[in-house]
Amino acid sequence: MTTPARYAVVGRPIAHSLSPRIHAAFARETGIALTYTAIEAAPEEFEAVLAAFVAEGGRGLNVTLPHKERAFALCAEATPRARAAGAANTLTWTGGGWHGDNTDGAGLVRDLTERRRHDLRGRRCLLLGAGGAARGVAPLLLDAGVSELIVVNRTAERADALCLALGEPARARARYWDDLDALGDFGMIVNATSLGREQSRVGLPFGLVAPGHCLAVDLSYGEAAVPFLAWARAAGCADAVDGLGMLVEQAAESFQRWHGVRPDTGPVYAALRARADALATAD
């Protein structure tokens, strides 16, 4: 009997991850035999965990916080979008090393433009954060046509480094966190920080929101997204979106890279959204 191919998601924390549920659903839909598990790994354990995974027959990994930049550094080869991000969330073992991709930005843009029918073109966009998640989505936001991308991070040097890597100084610029009150308003605000995981209230200025048409997006989902989304609604954003749709779409990108077929994401997203809504109502 053939042993199913092994895949996993690695991060810390990881117990909350929906990726095993998503990939199991994709596997059932496409008739592909595989196993997909969640692996907890501290930063100092990351390389050893990857080596053990390969030794046990592992073929592909999704990578989440806090390992995306470290994962990219380990890649022997990488796609242009992973190189543009300087971060990888999808690893494929080629026999001689890891091949890295970054599906985060494609997943975000597909969720916003195809599922939710938002037109991102011409929007002035504020990106909060400059870590692996922000690096993954920033190049695709520019490709989607945002008119301006302002990157703000508590460590200003990381924001500077991200904007330098993007290579579009006319559209992508870094500013200090203390400047938030003076940045004007935005048609799109993307939270790629850990604000919602660190505090129950988000103290951002309401003046960041362009009245009537601002789209707010938190790249997290579940409880971690609640504080930012609550702030966005209170500030008058026209729409406030969590990262669940992005998670499903980026997973489909990874699945296609590994298995050569793109699953239908609609039923999986609908089931997860219904489950999330039911849990929120129960709380």
Residue 144 exposed, middle or buried by CB count within 10 Å (0-12, 13-18, 19+):
buried
Distance, CA of 132 to CA of 76 (rounded, Å): 19
Q: Could you tell me which residues are annotated as the binding site?
A: 17-19, 64, 89, 104, 129-133, 153-158, 219, 221, 243, 250
Among 169, 223, 210, 216, residue whose Cα is nearest residue 190: 216
The answer to whether residue 68 is catalytic is: yes
| SS3 assignment for 55-91 | HCCEEEEEECCCCHHHHHHCCCEECHHHHHHCCCCEE
Q: Could you tell me which residues are annotated as the binding site for NADP(+)?
A: 129-133, 153-158, 219, 243
- C-alpha distance from residue 17 to each of 22, 41, 224 (Å): 10, 13, 12
Distance, CA of 158 to CA of 138 (rounded, Å): 13
CA torsion angle for 222, 44, 82, 15 (degrees, to 10)?
-20
Among 251, 236, 248, residue whose Cα is nearest residue 273: 248
| Catalytic pick among 38, 50, 60, 68 | 68
Distance, CA of 174 to CA of 181 (rounded, Å): 15
Phi-psi region of 77 (alpha: psi -120 to 50; beta: other; left: phi over 0): beta
Residue 84, both tokens:
């543009």
Q: Could you tell me which residues are annotated as the binding site for shikimate?
A: 17-19, 64, 89, 104, 221, 250
Could you give the angle at which helices 19-30 and 244-259 cross, rounded to 10 degrees? 50
Phi-psi region of 184 (alpha: psi -120 to 50; beta: other; left: phi over 0): left
The DSSP string of 160-190 is HHHHHHHT-TTTEEEEEGGGGGGS--BSEEE
Q: Mind telling me the catalytic residues?
A: 68
